[in-house]
Amino acid sequence: MKIVVLDGYTENPGDISWAPLQELGEVTVYDRTAYEESPLIAERIGDAEVAVINKTPISKETIDKCPNLKAIAVLATGYNVADYKYAAEKGIPVMNVPVYGTDNVSQFAVSLLMEVCSHIGHHSDSVHAGEWASNVDWCYWHYPMIEVSGKTAGIIGLGRIGTNTAKILRAMNVKVLAYDRHQHDAGKQVAEYVELDELLSRSDFIFLHCPLFPETEGIINKENIAKMKDGVILINNSRGPLVVEQDLYDALESGKVAAAAVDVVSTEPISKDNILLKAKNCIITPHISWATKEARERIMNTTADNIRAFIEGAPVNVVNNSARI
């Protein structure tokens, strides 16, 4: 079995092992191939039977150029990077990693909130720059310090990650509201389900934990921002296109939104002219909520399990079977 990994660096920059895949066949690993359509993609797949990808796209054209391709394994949960519908027509299963980072994505979401409220990194930098040593007072702060306890958080999307984030917030004495089309018992134990407009109007903090669907794209727009409390704080480490970035910029500049912290943006890597780079009170991190070593090891092991199951004739975590598309 020939297996080619087209963009392995973000999954494994050298601190974990490719051994779980290497046990399954002849493995070729490329750190990077392309993040947009390129002839190099098909060239590197060659006669391999399994292509392993993270963000390198596999299009209809690439599939047609690789007649030996039998399966596509995605080192992530999202799988739109592959033309999964055409792959299904060709009998090629596309397999993803549905659960691997619930704890660390929730941890990161709450960490973003705490950074907005306490500005720990900024003040540490100021101390290292000598400001505390030369200060006339025994302490100082550059931003208002915000107490989280007693506030209300609204979570848009109460799946596994949203539910886990709600548990953390509840432990911090934060009341949690949730908006989700699909309600479940675990969610009801940690949050009060409400309609979107009520969540927007009551929340001091708003977390985005919903998938990117046509109905959620641009859900944070000027109309919905107008329904929010003055001085609301927005946290997004789900998907960048959930936010209309120009509308968020305008709200940050006016103070309607007091602060935002995002781990995702509309185009990644971020474009140099992204309007949020110019916004005040906006923390931006480079899509790293998922990237703990522990989570990446789970991705590696699940991907190996997916390929092994495919080899054995009973593929799992297939996103493009007839019941899914």
CATH number of the domain that 118 lies in? 3.40.50.720
Q: Establish whether 239 is a catalytic residue.
A: yes
> Is 287 an annotated catalytic residue?
yes
Q: Which of 122, 160, 202, 287 is catalytic?
A: 287
Check whether residue 123 and residue 43 sit in a common domain: no
Gyration radius from the chain CA atoms: 22
Residues 234 and 143 in one domain: yes
**How do the pLDDT tens digits run along the chain, 325 residues long?**
999 999 999 999 999 999 999 999 999 999 999 999 999 999 999 999 999 999 999 999 999 999 999 999 999 998 989 999 999 999 999 999 999 999 999 999 999 999 999 999 999 999 999 999 999 999 999 999 999 999 999 999 999 999 999 999 999 999 999 999 999 999 999 999 999 999 999 999 999 999 999 999 999 999 999 999 999 999 999 999 999 999 999 999 999 999 999 999 999 999 999 999 999 999 999 999 999 999 999 999 999 999 999 999 999 999 998 655 5
**Is residue 67 located within the same domain as residue 173?**
no
Say if residues 289 and 101 touch (Cβ distance below 8 Å).
Answer: yes
Residue 304 domain-assigned?
A: yes
Q: Is residue 324 part of a domain?
A: no
| Residue 84 and residue 185 share a domain | no
| Whether residue 163 sits in one domain with residue 121 | yes
Count of the separate structural domains present in the chain:
2
Provide the whole-model pTM.
0.91
Question: Which pair of structure tokens corresponds to residue 142?
Answer: 């550059």
| Annotated active-site residue in 43, 223, 268, 294 | 268
Q: If residue 249 lies in a helix (H) or strand (E), which one and from where to where? A: helix 245-254
Q: Is residue 318 part of a domain?
A: no
Residues 39, 188 share a domain = no
Taking a C-beta distance cutoff of 8 angstroms, is the pair 58, 82 a contact? yes
Q: Is 89 an active-site residue?
A: no
3-state secondary structure of 6: coil
Query: What is d(CA 321, CA 325) in angstroms, rounded to the nearest whole number?
Result: 7
For 270-320, give the DSSP string: PPTT-GGGG-TTEEE--S-TT--HHHHHHHHHHHHHHHHHHHTT---SBSS
Q: What is the per-residue pLDDT for 325?
A: 57
Residue whose structure tokens are 């409400």: 194
Query: Which of 119, 209, 239, 296 does the annotation list as catalytic?
Result: 239
**Pairing relationship of beta strands 232-236 and 175-179 according to DSSP bridges:** unpaired
Give the closest residue to 106 by CA, choosing from 190, 163, 165. Answer: 165
Say yes or no: 251 and 135 in one domain: yes
- Cβ contacts of residue 311 below 8 Å, gap of 6+? 1, 24, 25
